[in-house]
Structure 1
């Protein structure tokens, strides 16, 4: 950990979040020379520098948009590939081609080990020094208490991010290490890391951070606008749903069992179900929808609006539970729009796969290979009568963007024959996360809007609940929760715009086995949460990556015929390799292994 435990550090005061808190005490010397003793000086009666450190802890939350190989983590799964990977040689493609190693893992996942330990150190430094700051008009006792509680939660969350990648990791407690300290710390067990997180945040644990947080809220009153994006009790409950679902899943449950935890399978899934139900029972969260139409039916563009409209994306809405704030900008639009819209300004960095496109349902909620669908799938007219989430997630040939049709046919504006131009690798571009620009009359630019990263949203909670209940039923209550499971899925499909059907089931079968419902839930999760950094971890926690990642990634080649129609040919665009003996867990970065002789490497990576 030597690389991240330092005394002289950069507080990133240039961030919008930090700028809001003021940076006047940094003026006497260059920012990168700011000393820790200056940052945490209790003589600063305005406490502005301490608030700067507090916001810097928030900055250590993970980001989402184009953060890896200019693409998304899920482009390292069967859901896509990074467009500009030069034939499979980008760092993100190392997840797919078997070239993952202790030497390159730091760069592959954005220095996750370093960054999350940096967040933990910032949190520890803040918690150590805030105790000495007097309360007053600029830092009330209540605000101080809440800041401490939020920081404790964030520290616990950083440990979760480390644990889901590496399993057990070194735990530094409340220590703030400097160069002359002994920071050679062995790894704790994953069981100990999990229990530490639960003790820090759980509502039923005396002394946890929970009771000192703001109440859960979705519509923040004007006088509290400054708390948008801050951790509240709803975020904690949402995180506990996420955590307990992971801990009940095969990969993590098997690891905990190896470490001596003896919790029955049904009990694990019961805990996960209860955690999701606690969020639902708050009664304040829901799926974001547009206003009702003349017939009183909710509009179906809520899914798109949630990701792309400035009025809702700020997080002050019913679906956002835990998110990282982002300043206004157009980077996701220019990074992901198809390349033909603005030469040198639209890069189309992410190429979703045919595998993912095929996972989207037909308009009546059936799989495309289901012979009972009233909309038979035609591979030569593949996007007709499909789940509207396909249109809201992926640019396909004929999609509309900025007043023209997307052209991903060979030689089209967005897949040209131009030498040296890198275009979609699969015949698709990523639509999700891009702002609503449809009232522009040209392609001269994009609307500047915030692009917050929704770490946990209500749709995930419904999916968590459905999954946990279905697994409980398999473990001993066959069919007991079928109606509740179906209701969770129906809520998602209704919001998406799936047809209700004569039976009111939105395409769900009237009878099914546990395995069939498991597949339905997993597929619903895949399409609803696409490119939100779930698929990458889901196929690992379910322990199906060894199957999924040893299949080719597929795409489409489209030829425009003389009569203006199109001919579609489906092709393999990437091969994938996944070694189940070691690749379910990350290797610890080699620099950390060298710097801390107490560390032990994950199995299979000792070389």
Structure 2
């Protein structure tokens, strides 16, 4: 894929170089060029891949009750303070996703004309697979567009986005109305169906290779491997498509959309189970999945065609310092950008599984970090923690003497008394005299996300302990997730056992587990909206002075109720009168 993108970039660079040649030549490559050049055709599709929204971290947590930023120019910080408008929207996906869909439609309109290979059987396999990838990508982009831009218009109808299945040209009608949410979901699932017809569950999978050999008469193992082998791992596959259907169904079944989405909790549970059943349900849960970002042995040994058991789909592994440069505390030469809140810290239960607010949790206000959920220390750097490749002790107290102290240096020090630890590799050094980078990769989809989607949907559909014919219940998932993190191992997770027959309390616990497990991975901003939860919870911190721990307010949140749904870009509504804006924007 990198080679394909490089070729496309090189071709683009040639455009406009007439002055280098005598006589001048035309360097623009028309669409007909792709018919005899399959790599150029793949380059069209590669342009869709480069726009994947889950390819990096947005840190939209800064616009929620989970984090603040010490960067005054942070766009998420600005919108949380009341500056979110239809023309100032860091959550916008309209342009990038619709651009990707244009490339996809351009590719699909021409793929059958491409000479994919000399061998007719191989050529047909390549054509079918590439088109299936395109359908899968289009389904994915529809999901992201609905998440960011679906909403109720002034007439009370839940609308999605315009459904585009043909490439747009200069003479096209761009003034296309939005389709209903229901119709967008139908289009998404039709694209998913077409994708699944041509894609293996995973490239190189032995059972899938046999199935494909039987599907294509005359295709021996070598030909099937050439088209569907492990070398293509990382591209759109059957399991990725099914995962996005599960994500879309969870969105549609959620309170913000359910009354007009056409999707219920049973459908959402079944979609998530379809993904999880491929790995054996709860038995397939990775025991170390909650520390995927710092499982050094797994990361160092990754080949281009491998993923850890926790990861359903991932980006490329590469050496980098950027996450640490942004988020290490100042004494480790970082900028301390993302500061977790006391709100999030309070969400982590005690080691015995009880919430910090429960009497049985035995929470000590004078020792607030003692006997806590191990994920707290793994994900958040609090006062007295050791960090970095030198195992340096970090002091975030207000009376601290280093730049790590609360509000010590504007724009670099923590504003909450906490720094980010999750996602960061502690074996990296930012010391200017001894810099050392390490490998990172971005998990585009983790199995934990799908487990939590199943738990949420199954609990709402069947109750906490009913398995709904899937072999495992919401309770089973939550118990396994908490046990792998070390929660309640000494008392059999007594708190979970006490609520296992209470659907409302189980729903609350599932949401809290989702908040913890997926923190800083770009979920909280969207989850609060699909749940129609409180968006204005004040972000809090911890002021430590000597032995006194005093919670404090850090940032107010300014959101209106209509902001459960994101806007259509203001510029688009101005240009096209058929585009109806969501209420309130």
Please state which band the TM-score falls in when normalised by the shorter chain: 0.7 to 0.9
The match for 2:327 among 333, 336, 348 is 336
Instruction: Give the superposition deviation at 1:103.
Output: 2.3
Please say if residues 303 and 496 of structure 1, whose CA atoms lie closer than 8 Å, have aligned partners that are also in contact: no
Please say if residues 218 and 318 of structure 1, whose CA atoms lie closer than 8 Å, have aligned partners that are also in contact: no
CA distance in 2, matches of 1:418, 1:541: 37
CA distance in 2, matches of 1:506, 1:22: 56
Answering whether residue 488 of structure 2 is matched by residue 493 of structure 1, we say no
Instruction: Give the superposition deviation at 1:313.
Output: 9.9
Please say if residues 63 and 324 of structure 1, whose CA atoms lie closer than 8 Å, have aligned partners that are also in contact: no
The match for 1:586 among 555, 561, 566 is 566
- Tell me whether 419-428 or 189-198 shows the greater mean CA deviation: 419-428
Instruction: Give the superposition deviation at 1:218.
Output: 9.7
Instruction: Give the superposition deviation at 1:350.
Output: 0.8
Please say if residues 71 and 411 of structure 2, whose CA atoms lie closer than 8 Å, have aligned partners that are also in contact: no
CA distance in 2, matches of 1:397, 1:73: 24
- Going from structure 1 to structure 2, the CA distance change for 1:236 and 1:79 (only over 3 Å counts) comes to same
CA distance in 2, matches of 1:509, 1:443: 54
Alignment match, 1:555:
541
CA distance in 2, matches of 1:240, 1:218: 23
- Tell me whether 123-132 or 408-417 shows the greater mean CA deviation: 408-417
Instruction: Give the superposition deviation at 1:37.
Output: 5.8
Any idea what the Cα deviations from partners look like across 1:411-437, whole Å, max 9, x if unmatched?
334237765553211111211112351
- Going from structure 1 to structure 2, the CA distance change for 1:127 and 1:511 (only over 3 Å counts) comes to closer
User: Which runs of no fewer than 5 residues in structure 1 stay unpaired?
Assistant: 1-14, 203-207, 291-298
Answering whether residue 231 of structure 2 is matched by residue 226 of structure 1, we say yes
Please say if residues 466 and 489 of structure 1, whose CA atoms lie closer than 8 Å, have aligned partners that are also in contact: yes
- Going from structure 1 to structure 2, the CA distance change for 1:160 and 1:382 (only over 3 Å counts) comes to same
Please say if residues 303 and 392 of structure 1, whose CA atoms lie closer than 8 Å, have aligned partners that are also in contact: no
Q: Give the SS at the match of 2:313.
A: strand
Please say if residues 308 and 433 of structure 1, whose CA atoms lie closer than 8 Å, have aligned partners that are also in contact: no
Counterparts of 1:104-503 in structure 2, within 5 Å, are 104-105=88-89, 108-109=90-91, 111-136=92-117, 140-167=123-150, 168-202=159-193, 208-216=194-202, 224-256=229-261, 261=262, 268-283=264-279, 286-289=284-287, 304-305=294-295, 309-311=299-301, 316-325=307-316, 327-342=318-333, 346-373=334-361, 376-402=362-388, 403-410=391-398, 411-415=401-405, 420-437=410-427, 444-452=434-442, 454-473=443-462, 480-481=466-467, 484-503=473-492
CA distance in 2, matches of 1:39, 1:386: 61
Please say if residues 465 and 473 of structure 2, whose CA atoms lie closer than 8 Å, have aligned partners that are also in contact: no
Please say if residues 138 and 191 of structure 2, whose CA atoms lie closer than 8 Å, have aligned partners that are also in contact: no
The match for 1:59 among 38, 50, 53 is 50
Q: Give the SS at the match of 1:322.
A: strand
CA distance in 2, matches of 1:288, 1:436: 22
Q: Give the SS at the match of 1:216.
A: coil
Alignment match, 2:61:
74
Instruction: Give the superposition deviation at 1:490.
Output: 1.7
CA distance in 2, matches of 1:372, 1:419: 39
CA distance in 1, matches of 2:461, 2:345: 30
Alignment match, 1:293:
none
Alignment match, 1:102:
86
Q: Give the SS at the match of 2:353.
A: coil
Q: Give the SS at the match of 1:572.
A: strand
- Tell me whether 234-243 or 35-44 shows the greater mean CA deviation: 35-44
- Going from structure 1 to structure 2, the CA distance change for 1:532 and 1:64 (only over 3 Å counts) comes to farther
CA distance in 1, matches of 2:498, 2:12: 63
Instruction: Give the superposition deviation at 1:460.
Output: 1.5
Alignment match, 2:582:
602
CA distance in 1, matches of 2:290, 2:51: 35
Instruction: Give the superposition deviation at 1:279.
Output: 1.4
Instruction: Give the superposition deviation at 1:284.
Output: 5.9
Instruction: Give the superposition deviation at 1:525.
Output: 0.7
Please say if residues 460 and 529 of structure 1, whose CA atoms lie closer than 8 Å, have aligned partners that are also in contact: yes
CA distance in 1, matches of 2:379, 2:27: 44
CA distance in 1, matches of 2:36, 2:318: 28
Please say if residues 307 and 314 of structure 2, whose CA atoms lie closer than 8 Å, have aligned partners that are also in contact: no
Q: Give the SS at the match of 2:366.
A: coil
Please say if residues 494 and 500 of structure 1, whose CA atoms lie closer than 8 Å, have aligned partners that are also in contact: yes
CA distance in 2, matches of 1:277, 1:19: 35
CA distance in 1, matches of 2:277, 2:287: 20
Please say if residues 273 and 464 of structure 1, whose CA atoms lie closer than 8 Å, have aligned partners that are also in contact: yes
Q: Let me know the Cα RMSD of the aligned residues.
A: 3.4
Query: Which is helix-richer, 1 or 2?
Result: 2
TM-score norm. by structure 1 comes to 0.80
Instruction: Give the superposition deviation at 1:59.
Output: 1.0
- Going from structure 1 to structure 2, the CA distance change for 1:300 and 1:532 (only over 3 Å counts) comes to closer
Please say if residues 405 and 414 of structure 2, whose CA atoms lie closer than 8 Å, have aligned partners that are also in contact: yes
Q: Give the SS at the match of 2:134.
A: helix
Please say if residues 38 and 116 of structure 2, whose CA atoms lie closer than 8 Å, have aligned partners that are also in contact: no
Q: Give the SS at the match of 2:554.
A: strand
- Going from structure 1 to structure 2, the CA distance change for 1:255 and 1:323 (only over 3 Å counts) comes to farther
Counterparts of 1:497-536 in structure 2, within 5 Å, are 497-503=486-492, 508-509=497-498, 511-536=500-525
Q: Give the SS at the match of 2:445.
A: strand
- Going from structure 1 to structure 2, the CA distance change for 1:568 and 1:307 (only over 3 Å counts) comes to farther
TM-score norm. by structure 2 comes to 0.83
Instruction: Give the superposition deviation at 1:17.
Output: 6.2
Please say if residues 273 and 468 of structure 1, whose CA atoms lie closer than 8 Å, have aligned partners that are also in contact: yes
CA distance in 2, matches of 1:147, 1:275: 24
- Going from structure 1 to structure 2, the CA distance change for 1:140 and 1:91 (only over 3 Å counts) comes to same
- Going from structure 1 to structure 2, the CA distance change for 1:464 and 1:217 (only over 3 Å counts) comes to farther
CA distance in 2, matches of 1:567, 1:308: 41
Any idea what the Cα deviations from partners look like across 1:160-202, whole Å, max 9, x if unmatched?
1111222134435322223332211111111111111011114
- Tell me whether 382-391 or 412-421 shows the greater mean CA deviation: 412-421
